[in-house]
Structures are given as C-alpha cells and as structure tokens.
Structure 1
C-alpha cells in the first residue's frame, strides 16, 4: 500500500516521489490567496541527482511517499569496478558502482561507517562520516606564498588518491583530518 501526502502535509525532511524520482522536501510554504485556489511552494532536493528545485503545487495535488530507506553499513574493499559494504545489522554484502560513489570513494578507508540510501532495491546515495583521517603520500611546492595574514598553501596527495589544498607546513606521512562534505583540510593529527 502506497501512502500519499496532500500538499498541506508536506514538511521538511519528508521523502516523496516528484517527477518519478525520490526527493527530500527542504521546505514547503502553503499559501491561501484571497482569490483563487490555495497552492504550495515546495523546495526539494533530488536524491538521485542532488539537484535542488523549487516548484508550485495546487492544493488538490497529492505526492506519493518515496519507498526509500537507509542502511547503516561498513566499507570493506573495492576491485576498482565495485565498492563492497556490509550491512551492520543483517551482515549482507552490498556492492556499489563507481558512478554512485563519485568522489566520495576517495574518503573511504576499510571499516569506514556510512549510510546507504536504497530505492527499488538499488543503492542510490551514500552519506559518509563528516570527517576522515588520511595520510599524506605526496606534496607539491607552495602554490600561494606566505603573507602577513596567512600561511602558504600547497597541494597534498592523500593515501586514497585525492589531492587537496593544505597548509605549507604539512609533510609526507602526516595524518590529517579532512571534512568529507567540503573536501577541505581541517587539521593535522
């Protein structure tokens, strides 16, 4: 049995099907004008593409509940085609393609905890821990010279293959903390 939501029931965080895709409602404003039919302005994010869209619905419209669920999992290994995870509750192995992971694959280390979003028995998104610690394997000379207000910046290649900007004092074999949401350096550990 599918559940439908009337437009005045929409609230932030609700997962619904819009344009045949699972979406998360970011905000919804129900408007009752003095004349004419009531409507709602809805801002939502597509789980598949990550695009944020704003649209208007009539008060008589209904949206279907997205049969989307999240699974707590742990990253195991990869064979450069598929990345393998284990469901923390059922211990079922789940494989995910490079296309779904995109650049998030550079923040996965064995035993990393993450949240997999499943829709129609397929993994459609992954949420990583906000911070990860990685080892610097290579650095370049400073890109930006020191000034009175800031230190120099250079590129560092990390153990997973990604390159990020780091302060000039970072050396090879340093363990650094990275924000996975912004792909930015936080601190040296």
Structure 2
C-alpha cells in the first residue's frame, strides 16, 4: 500500500482488482476543493486505457514488480520475441498488451521487462532512441517558419513530426515517452 502521491509513470497498481500500468499522471490543485491526481492507466490483461482521479490522501495498492533486461529479437505474428540477456531464455509477448512506445523499439535493442512472478506486466523501452528516417517529404529552401513540422516515417514504422530540414536517410534521436523529435544525430 502507498499514497496516491507516489503514483508515477511506469508504476504498476491494483485497480478494481486488475493490474494496471500508470501511463500518465498529473497533479491537479483546483481553486476550490482538495488536490487530486488525474491518472491514465493501461489494464495489463485487456490492454484498455482507463482514467481515474485519486485524492491526494487516498491509499493505492502497488504491485511488487521485478525488472529484468531483455533484448528485443523480432516480431512473430502478433507476438514480440524477447531474450533474457543473462540466461538467453526467449519469451513471446502479445503486442496488444504493450504500450504505444513499443513502436520505437528496433531489433536487438535492450528493454526492461517488468514481471510479477512469471507474468510480464510491461515493457519499458529506452527514453531516447536513434532511428533513421525512411520516408518524408523534402523540405524547401525558404521554409523558415518556426516550429513547423512535417510527418516522417521511421525505420520501425512509427510516424512522428520532424522539422522541415530533416531528409530521408537522416538519423534522428526520438523521445519515446512523447513520441517526438529531439535532434539530428551526426554519424
């Protein structure tokens, strides 16, 4: 058991009898009334996203998790195959039970898997990854308006907005939490 003030992204809590991963949390202090935490959580079993408000003084049941490093190998149908970096044991995880940030994971990348016993609760990808742009429209000389972005498809199939000066073949750093462009990477 813990307090609602301990809620943060990636925490696993028991909510309505189900294990849920906190996707997003925001502390809100309205002008009238008590402060509360607005949270978005993904049900681990069903994959559905639910929203809930926890009062600051409310108690929350946290699930004890064990985090281990696994290497992402490949996609097999609807399963993503991972290998334990210590024991070389392979496991398959249904892609429906994983979050949005999984689309930024390249083959052979290391990710943190959260376990409760032998059940995989979540997959935490690195906060920043370097990916190659495989398709985007060319930027034109003179397009100098600030904060203008264009859509780009990355090597993993993910789509994000990038600045106009980014071209096909460029290597960029991506923030996996926000699904946003950070910078161009020099090779």
Name the TM-score, length of structure 1 as normaliser.
Answer: 0.68
Match among 7, 12, 21 for residue 6 of structure 2: 12
Q: 1:176 to 1:17 in 2, by over 3 A?
A: same
Q: CA deviation at 1:73?
A: 1.2
Structure 2 stretches lacking a partner, 5+ long: 27-35
Q: CA deviation at 1:108?
A: 1.1
Match among 97, 103, 107 for residue 104 of structure 2: 107
Match among 113, 116, 122 for residue 116 of structure 1: 113
Match among 53, 63, 68 for residue 66 of structure 1: 63
How far does the alpha carbon of each residue in 1:132-157 deviate from its partner, in whole angstroms, 9 at most, with x for none? 11111111256xx945x516421111
2:181 corresponds to 1:185: yes
Name the TM-score, length of structure 2 as normaliser.
Answer: 0.69
Q: Give the corresponding residue for 1:35.
A: none
Q: Give the corresponding residue for 1:38.
A: none
Q: Please give the residue correspondences for 1:35-184 in structure 2 after superposition, counting only pairs within 5 Å.
A: 46=41, 48=43, 49=48, 51-55=50-54, 66-119=63-116, 121-140=118-137, 146=143, 150=146, 152-184=148-180
Q: 1:20 to 1:172 in 2, by over 3 A?
A: same
Q: Tell me the C-alpha RMSD between the 2 structures.
A: 3.5
Q: CA deviation at 1:65?
A: 5.8
Q: CA deviation at 1:50?
A: 5.5
Q: 1:188 to 1:76 in 2, by over 3 A?
A: same
Aligned length: 166
Q: Secondary structure at the match of 1:165?
A: strand
C-alpha distance in 1 between matches for 2:85 and 2:49? 26
Q: CA deviation at 1:51?
A: 4.0
Q: Secondary structure at the match of 1:171?
A: coil
> Residue 133 of structure 2 contacts residue 155 of structure 2 at CA under 8 Å; is this kept in 1?
yes
